[in-house]
Structure 1
Amino acid sequence: MRVNSNTRARTRAAVGLTVAALAAGATAGAGPATAQPKAAPAAAADCNAAYRIEQKLSTGTTWRMCWRYDGKAGLVLENISYQPKGEPKQIKVLNSARLGQIHVPYDDGKVEYDDLTGFDFAQGLMNLAPGECPGGTIRTVKVPDSWNEDPNVKGLCTTTRSRGHAYRMQGDTANKVFQTEGKDLLVYTVNQVGWYEYMTEWRFQDDGTITMNVGATGSLSWDDYDAGDGRGWPIGKGASAKATSHSHNAFWRLDFALDGSTKNKVEQYDSTVTAPTRGQRAPTTKTTRTKVTKELAGDSKAYRWWRMVSATGKNKDGHARSYEIVPGPTTRYPGRSYTKHDLYVTQYNKCELFASNNPGNCGAGAGKSVDKWVNGQALTHPVVWMNIGFHHIARDEDQQPMPVHWQGFSIAPRDVTAMNPLTPAELGWQNGHWRPRS
């Protein structure tokens, strides 16, 4: 939540001076983090060591990428690729990945915020304590046009994390169980906006999946305990203090470059389930593919999914590499035109950077939000915008401090490798039509 309009300016100034971190132990794991205090100039596309993230996970997959810090978007990851074991070289996935906006409208209709372009999200980068980056490295970020006397913030954590079972399979007999624990590269920052602290988290799994999350934590705003219009939720004893409910509509912007080419193809899949007819024992399901050749404003629904397909690369089985888009739980906000859809695919335009309140001049009549950019252009360089909404109706347990509430989505490899990249060598022969070994 924010402070009200009378104290907002003071809060913004405080953000620029804040050096406090979230409580230690916000992330799981063990071991100290190592700070690297030296700040460097902005990274080039082929970034130098100060802006390079490279991690070989214990299960054999190596992730590589560059990072930079934008004055509005905050953390931007670029040239993202991975190399599973058994692959001869890195497989590029994305040109860039970053937040595209955090839109926060309040239920009483009095205020709404575009946190990235209207409320100085990037300026609120927080210093991280070593305990918040267990076993990893805290890198120093130079915040552009910083309000602080020292623009250098120890604010970027890179570490690894176990995520539990990657798979488990018992063989033909009880004598052998195949199982392994999955490992992730975790990259994250914390940005303070008003009373909120946003944790922007990127998880790069050893199986090639990328998960992006925004977690909101910090405090409820005591200045907002005034929801006298009947829309708020009572906080504390009795009903004298009511917190104003609001939405968080988080957008991400993904510029794909599968196998190094931006000429990717978009496909939508829909399935229909038909009741059993005479002679059938169960319902039937039919899946159809639609090639998306022009810009799209898409809505998630049961039995619908999308994938981005490489124009140039195939796996060892001869199948086109692709990434499937996997939406997370969402509450779609119908109040603004740009939040009425879950997914947008637009033709690349270097000035189309933020899903709402876009500051760039994209030409006469272009509009300032992503919905205005879906105007029938052919997709030769598609860019994906994902919108995940959360309606925050506060509760007593939100104080104090407020537990993190997460929203996000994933992109998952589909036919990038011929088999599970974590397949043990003993099972490597079981590709395709499995049959008992003779």
Structure 2
Amino acid sequence: MHVNRARRARTRPAAALSGLAVTALLGTVLATAPSATAAPTAPDRAPAAAAPACSAAYQIEQTLDGGTTWRMCWHYNTLSGLVLDDVSYQPKSEPKPIRVLTSARLAQVHVPYDDGEAEYDDITGTDFGQALQNLRPAECPGGTIKTVKVPDRGNVQGLCATTRARGHAYRLNDDASTGGSGKLYSAQGKDLLVYTVNKASWYEYITEWRFSSDGTITSNVGATGSLSPYDYDGTDGRGWPIGKGASAYAESHSHNVFWRLDFGLDGSNKSKVEQYDSKVTAPRGNGVPTTKTTRIPVTKELAGDVKNLRWWRVLSTAGKNKDGHPRSYEFVPGRSTTFPGRSFTKHDVYFTEYKKCEQYASNNPAANCGGTSVDKWVGGQTLKHPITWVNVGFHHIARDEDQQPMPVHWQGFSLAPRDVTAMSPLTPADLADQNGVPRNGS
């Protein structure tokens, strides 16, 4: 989907660079919304979330099913595009918003071709940020399209904030035969959806963030647009024929998408990280399998690999829920194809100590930053203000159905709330007394 090899040198156009200092390449942005950090309070209560540190034009607020309200600021980065700031979550049972993220954004889209003759960093190596696409009202049904000020281009109607149905939020048949009320509890849910579309050569990337009423955050990048007319030079084993017979072999390639997350749980960036590994032991004789789960505090910088029965969470050090449990968010990776061809794409998640110049997972434009890719920044430093980098890969072997235009293929991950609230934020009022063992339990 990129131009041919003679034309594949996709550096930022001179117009995109004019007037931008080196600091702009590292993240100086338009309509920046700096985050405010609240001081910790008593351990069983969260600090009060600060008011949004941005003007009304750069605020997003949405109340969803069950009374859950999400609030955030946004700004636009000249390289990575949409950045979300000061993201907070307030279930109906909480008197104040709970801060979750200080900032969240894309950190790279790395695209190597199978024949080894072309390789791109679409965030820092193209005009990705400059090529924000105008959205039509039909692309943002029931929502609002916000104006984005893009350097050297002016105003772009490029940010959609809307809601989208997600199906069942929950379902419980509280069976009377087992001591229940005999009622059916069921509800349909909606997500707050925030998204932009950026163009990089023949690709169009849809960068979307979904915020659910149960506290879940999901980010996906969808690649669509068109297969490049200059990339029909692959061969069997390096490409796939999408023309009649054995013709028009579209070159195979990978999409390695990185996100950069700066947590601010309960208004503090001094988070902790934990890894959990479970081991299953086969049964003996007529027994049953057993499983033991081990908690491993991650106190030093880490390059982590997704494995069966392994997961990570980021914990608050500043607040607990009403049950006295520290609030946290768990990583739920989507389907991924790990690309072993580069050192920075070999791992699925990185936890690094915050350093201002460490902004992009590869081809990082800052000089003197101890390397230009995230793997070089894992040096054993103690984690006090951890930055999380998520890598999700997709190996794109084209098919006939990819033309024309190409259907969206998605890759992404979720952040699931773990002990953010003492009960589900969607618990119906007449089940609110069932914290712990349900009333018909033992």
- Shorter-chain TM-score above 0.5: yes
Question: Cα distance 1:362–1:309, how it changes in 2: closer, same or farther (>3 A)?
Answer: farther
1:48 aligns with 2:55: yes
Q: Deviations over 1:143-170 (max 9, x none)?
A: 13x3x3xx21100000011100011110
Aligned counterparts, 1:202-221, within 5 A: 202-221=209-228
Q: Deviations over 1:372-416 (max 9, x none)?
A: 000000000001000000000000000011000000000110000
Distance in 1, Cα, partners of 2:305 & 2:142:
40
The amino acid of 1:96's aligned partner reads S
Alignment correspondent of 2:157: 154
Query: 2:408 corresponds to which residue?
Result: 404
- C-alpha change, 1:429 and 1:155, in structure 2 (3 Å) is same
What corresponds to 2:424 in structure 1? 420
- What is aligned with 1:26? none
Q: Does the 8 Å CA contact 2:11/2:126 hold for their aligned counterparts?
A: no
- Structure 2 residue 201 is the aligned partner of structure 1 residue 194: yes
**Within 1, Cα distance between the matches of 2:10 and 2:392?**
30
- Residue 393 in structure 1 maps to residue 400 in structure 2: no
| TM-score, scaled relative to structure 2 | 0.89
Asked if residue 311 in structure 1 is aligned to residue 325 in structure 2, the reply is no
2:372 counterpart of 1:368: yes
User: Does the 8 A contact of 1:3 with 1:11 survive in 2?
Assistant: no
Distance 1:164 1:126 in 2: 29
Deviation at 1:430, TM superposition (A): 0.6
- Match status 1:140 vs 2:142: no
Q: Distance in 1 between matches of 2:390 and 2:231?
A: 29
Give the 3-state SS of the residue equivalent to 2:176 in structure 1. coil
What letter is aligned with 1:349? Answer: K
Q: Does 1:243 align with 2:250?
A: yes
Are the counterparts in 2 of residues 12 and 193 from structure 1 also a CA contact under 8 Å?
no
Please list the CA deviations of residues 191-223 of structure 1 after superposition, one character each: whole Å capped at 9, or x if unmatched. 011111000000011111000000000101111
2:344 to 321, 338, 347: 338
Deviation at 1:435?
Answer: 2.5
| Residue identity opposite 1:250 in structure 2 | V
Indicate the residue corresponding to 1:65 in structure 2.
Answer: 72
User: 1:134, CA displacement in angstroms?
Assistant: 0.3
1:4 aligns with 2:4: yes
> Do 2:316 and 2:327's aligned partners in 1 also have CA atoms closer than 8 Å?
yes
Q: Could you say which residue in structure 2 is the equivalent of 1:287?
A: 293
Report the identity percentage: 69
Alpha-carbon distance in 2 for matches of 1:423, 1:228: 56
Supply the AA of the counterpart residue of 2:155.
N
Q: Does 1:168 align with 2:171?
A: yes
Q: Which residue of 2 aligns with 1:433?
A: 437
Any unmatched runs of 5+ in structure 2?
17-29, 36-52
- Asked if 1:86 is matched to 2:89, the reply is no
- 1:59 Cα deviation after fit: 2.4
The 1-side partners of 2:397 and 2:351 are apart by 31
Residue of structure 1 in register with 2:48 after alignment: none
SS in 1 for 2:256: strand
User: Shift in Å at residue 87 of structure 1?
Assistant: 0.4
Asked if 1:379 is matched to 2:383, the reply is: yes
Equivalent residue number for residue 329 of structure 1: 335
**Secondary structure of the residue that 1:338 maps to in structure 2?**
helix
2:330 is aligned with 1:354: no
* Counterpart code for 1:72: L
What is the aligned residue count? 406
* CA–CA distance in structure 1, aligned partners of residues 150 and 4 of structure 2: 26
Instruction: Provide the C-alpha distance between the structure 1 equivalents of 2:125 and 2:376, rounded to a whole number of angstroms.
Output: 19
Match of 1:128 among 131, 135, 138: 135
* Residue identity matched to 1:137: T
| Partners of 1:8 and 1:194 within 8 A in 2 | no
Aligned counterparts, 1:225-240, within 5 A: 225-228=232-235, 230-240=237-247
Q: Tell me if the contact between 2:31 and 2:76 (Cα under 8 Å) persists in the aligned partners.
A: no
Change (3 A) 1:241 1:12: farther
Q: Deviations over 1:258-282 (max 9, x none)?
A: 101111100000000001135x631
The 10-residue stretch of structure 1 (280-289 or 211-220) with the greater mean CA deviation from structure 2 = 280-289
Instruction: Check 1:362–1:63 CA distance in 2 against 1; reply closer, same or farther (3 A cut).
Output: farther
| Equivalent in 293, 303, 323 of residue 297 of structure 1 | 303
Equivalent residue of 2:114, what SS? coil
SS in 2 for 1:131: helix
Give the letter aligned to residue 379 of structure 1.
Answer: L
Alpha carbons 1:11, 1:194 under 8 Å: kept: no
User: Is the CA contact 1:345–1:385 (under 8 Å) kept in the aligned structure 2?
Assistant: yes
- Note the C-alpha offset of 1:360: 1.2
1:281 and 1:431 map into 2 onto residues whose CA distance is: 33
Q: Is the 8 A contact 2:11 2:125 kept in 1?
A: no
- Residue 20 of structure 1 corresponds to which residue in structure 2? none
Cα root mean square deviation, aligned: 1.9
